[in-house]
Amino acid sequence: MMATATSRFHLEPPPWLYARLAKGPLFRRLYRRFVADLAAALPPGARVLDVGTGPGYLPAYLARERPDLDLSGLDLSDRMIRRAARRHPELRKWSVADAQALPFPAGVFDQTIASFSLHIWPDRALGVQELVRVLKPGGRAWIFELRREAAADELRQFARAEGLPFLMVYPGFKVVSWHHSLRQAEFDPILRAAAGCQWELQPVHHLLWRAELRRAQVPAHRPGRTPRDSSPNFLPP
């Protein structure tokens, strides 16, 4: 999770505290769920960039499930990246940079990921455009965020599925989601602003949003004609 001036206004925890929160029972189970999603969906040998990697838990978890992946992590906080490099010496590709200006040329990654960080980016639409820009044609960006609209019944289902006390999950989610979540009304315009891609936003795992954006393939066209992108703004089933 990236630290910014905006994130400090939103009471973003310092690196040492975030590292502890990310290893707590709620976030550890959330990571397990979307790591399973990603491990099942990422293509063999994919080059993957985790943007807003924080202390590097997501690349480390993915490496255990999918050792074939070429994983990189990036965060605005040099303290987070130092912590990631120290905790996960088996992963060597760490960068300190802004999600809104990724230090990579266009079309170099097969997949990009942002988890629990989009909500604190000062220009969210620009950050998402960057996630798409560095993708190869046909590549996919994945964004996971807490879903502000998650109702008490959904939190109860999550607690039951994970074997956690509802009276721990409910207040914990409400406190964390106050400044660290997005509503659908906030998410939709961000995704619509991402040009040249198909996208889909859906609620998953009772209390998460999962957004998927796929960069368009370069269309074949005859010389002298300008291709038009007629792709709908949703991913095919």
In a domain, 174, yes or no: no
Residue 63 is part of a domain; what is its CATH number?
Answer: 3.40.50.150
- The pLDDT of residue 176 is 84
Phi, psi of 199 (to 5 degrees): -145, 160
The per-residue pLDDT for range 179-225, each reduced to its tens digit, is 889 999 999 999 999 888 999 999 999 999 999 999 988 654 444 43
The per-residue pLDDT for range 105-119, each reduced to its tens digit, is 999 999 999 999 999
3-state secondary structure of 44: coil
Average pLDDT taken over every residue of the chain: 85
Gap between the Cα atoms of 201 and 172, Å rounded: 24
Counted residue by residue, the chain has a size of 237
Provide the pairing of β-strand 70-75 with 47-51: parallel
> Is 191 inside a domain boundary?
yes
DSSP 120: G
- Asked if the structure places residue 222 within a domain, the reply is no
219 Cβ neighbours under 8 A, 6+ residues apart: 227, 229
Helix, strand, or coil here: 191? helix
* Position 158 in a domain: no
Cβ atoms of 12 and 3 closer than 8 Å: yes
Residue entry with tokens 């001036």: 5
Q: Is residue 137 part of a domain?
A: yes
Distance of CA 206 to the CA centre of its chain: 17
Q: Is 75 within a domain? A: yes
* Residue 199, helix vs strand vs coil: strand
What's the rounded Cα separation, in Å, for the pair 115 and 101? 17
Rounded CA gap, 158 and 170, in Å?
10
Other CB atoms within a 10 A radius of the CB of residue 88 amount to 20
The set of residues, in sequence order, having a beta carbon less than 8 Å from that of 83 and lying 6+ positions away, is 15, 19, 55, 56
Q: Domain containing 60: what range?
A: 5-147+183-215
C-alpha 53: how far from its chain's center? 9
Q: How many domains does the chain have?
A: 1
Q: Output the DSSP codes for 125-185.
A: HHHHHHHHHTEEEEEEEEEEEEBTT--HHHHHHHHHHHT--HHHHHHHHHHHHTTS-B-HH
Domain assignment of residue 155, yes or no: no
Asked if residue 64 is part of any domain, the answer here is: yes
Residues sharing a CB contact under 8 Å with residue 36, sequence separation 6 or more, in sequence order:
65
Q: Which of 8-22, 77-91, 160-174 has the lowest mean pLDDT?
A: 8-22
Which range is least confidently modeled, 13-27, 44-58, 112-126, 201-215? 13-27
